[in-house]
Amino acid sequence: MTDRANLWWKGACVYQIYPRSFADSNGDGVGDLAGITAHLDHVASLGVDAIWISPFFTSPMRDFGYDVADYCDVDPIFGTLSDFDALVARAHALGLKVMIDMVFAHTSDQHAWFSESRADRTNAKSDWYVWRDANPDGTPPNNWQSVFGGPAWTWDARRQQYYMHQFLKEQPQLNCHNPAVQEACLDALRFWLARGVDGFRLDALNHAMFDPDFTDNPPAPESDKPRTRSYDFQLKTKSMNHPDVVGFVERIAAVCNAAGASFTVAEIGGDDAVTLMKAYTAGEARLNSAYSFDFLYADKLTPDLVIKTQAQWTGAPDADGPDTANMAEGWPSWAFENHDAPRHISRWVGEADRPAYARLTMALLFALRGNPFLYQGQELGLTQDEIPFELLQDPEAIANWPLTLSRDGVRTPMPWQASAGHGGFTASHPWLPLSPANIARAVDVQEGDPDSQLNWTRRLLAIRRAQPALLTGALDHAVAKGDLLTFTRREAGDVVHCAFNLGAGTMPYTAPIGATLLALNGATPTSLPPYSALFIRA
């Protein structure tokens, strides 16, 4: 049995890199692995513990890498396996662990597995994907809908059957109920572990299995949430979230544990996500952590929201269901933005307050119990870019324009040099445009400003690293009073009291007696100005 408290990942800060948009080394307008390697010194300078690289595998790029055509090779857009090996070597030399994204709910329709599976109904991989006969009237087998809109079924003339896809039709559903499919996925993990990878983020893991009886999903009850896709009209109780995913999770964990102290984190969204997150991470034989969506799509940050999220993960034994009863609770991970979710400061505060608010939310993220995940550019305070329809790349945004939020606005390239063309990202035309406002926030501009978001990020991470309570301690005494949020982190004899003013007005405050670790945006032991924070070590 593994002692989780001694593993590198517990309390680690992970920096997400979206490879298309990080740095372009060859001037084709798309970021690549060599570009990442060339800028790892910047990442290491922040004080983070690991990088997570979004998919760079062979892919037709219909969903920009999340449609995998070969799990064990690098797409030429991003480079070669040798480029990946050089990236891992450089990261490790800088003290950074390397995590990569693995997508096991679906592949590309260009994957060799799918080409064989669709050829006929009797081949060796005929049941590696999800095939069903049409209803007598030719309609799809059931009412399941895809995340991107429309039925989760597409007719294939070769097999005279429908195949299932929970996302794009170019992303056919893997049949992860099949042990042979699971083993093939585990082989992909082994391949990358052998090349030095230290951990995995497992994309859309709760989509990996479904009701094998193909029962219709029930309708969703009325709510105040807008419905922009047919997917929004159903409760996805049958098309995803199948309890047998737990068995697959345990096989994944066994492979990773056999390779050493690797880090596994599940992405779990949708209905009843917290219950699934706990099931997938309970005990020592499952995944290490789960990646929360609680903040990623929240339209407002409030003390009540923070307290609600933290109350879901107390460290107490899990008792949610028969397969997790009395098992040790897993460890949470938190993010305020990522490649799918808009820049948080554009969602949560007005333009004039964004510099102070970016510092505040960084302090809050690093004070939560769990692993903080930073998305590239968050350390610069980048804002959401508005991409006009004619420049959109995101297939979901194009299909549902203008009623769904474009993911392209958070995927625009990193600005490295304010005076260079395209912010120093590329020597040619970038795949997405950079806004002048974000170019003005470039790394080289912020390096020389001690009060920049970049340098505050470094200071805040240094404080976090120096305090065991902030890394792995319990979180208790959480209180919300209007815009005031307070809580205490404690690990053995190390105690840190944290106070945050999430509002635009100054409020009086009486800090506990102790040494001031952080006084952000003018905070004092007796007063918290707008968007300020105070950490006191007791």
Catalytic residue list: 203, 267
- Dihedral of CA atoms 465, 469, 475, 480 in degrees, nearest 10, equals -70
Phi then psi for residue 49, to 5 deg, are -100, -25
Can you list the alpha helix ranges (DSSP code H) found in 108-230? 112-117, 179-194
Q: Are 78 and 57 in contact (CB under 8 A)?
A: no
- 436 Cβ contact list (under 8 Å, min separation 6): none
**DSSP 8-state secondary structure symbol assigned to residue 9:** T
Q: Are 21 and 376 in contact (CB under 8 A)?
A: yes
Pair of tokens at residue 221:
């009850």
- Encoded amino acid at 158, one letter: R
- Rounded Cα gap, residues 287 and 99, in angstroms: 14
CA proximity to 201, closest of 115, 103, 64:
103
Q: Are 284 and 2 in contact (CB under 8 A)?
A: yes
Q: Are 509 and 484 in contact (CB under 8 A)?
A: yes
**DSSP 8-state secondary structure symbol assigned to residue 237:** T
- Encoded amino acid at 75, one letter: D
Classify residue 95 as left (phi > 0), alpha (psi -120 to 50) or beta: left
- Encoded amino acid at 252, one letter: I
- 224 Cβ contact list (under 8 Å, min separation 6): none
Q: Which residues of 496-531 are buried (b: 16+ CB within 10 A; e: fewer)?
A: bbbbbbbbeeebebebeeeeebbbbbebebebbbbb
Half-sphere exposure of 183 (CA within 13 A, CB side): 3
**DSSP 8-state secondary structure symbol assigned to residue 380:** G
Q: Are 247 and 208 in contact (CB under 8 A)?
A: no
H or E element at residue 305: helix 303-311
Half-sphere exposure of 233 (CA within 13 A, CB side): 10
H or E element at residue 93: helix 81-93
CA distances to 43, 63, 334, 365 from 15, rounded to whole Å, are 8, 22, 12, 13
- Encoded amino acid at 248, one letter: F
CA proximity to 316, closest of 334, 330, 304:
330
CA proximity to 77, closest of 58, 62, 90, 63:
58
Preceding omega of 322 cis (within 30 degrees of 0): no
**Residue entry with tokens 């690549």:** 32
- Rounded Cα gap, residues 208 and 434, in angstroms: 35
Q: Are 239 and 175 in contact (CB under 8 A)?
A: no
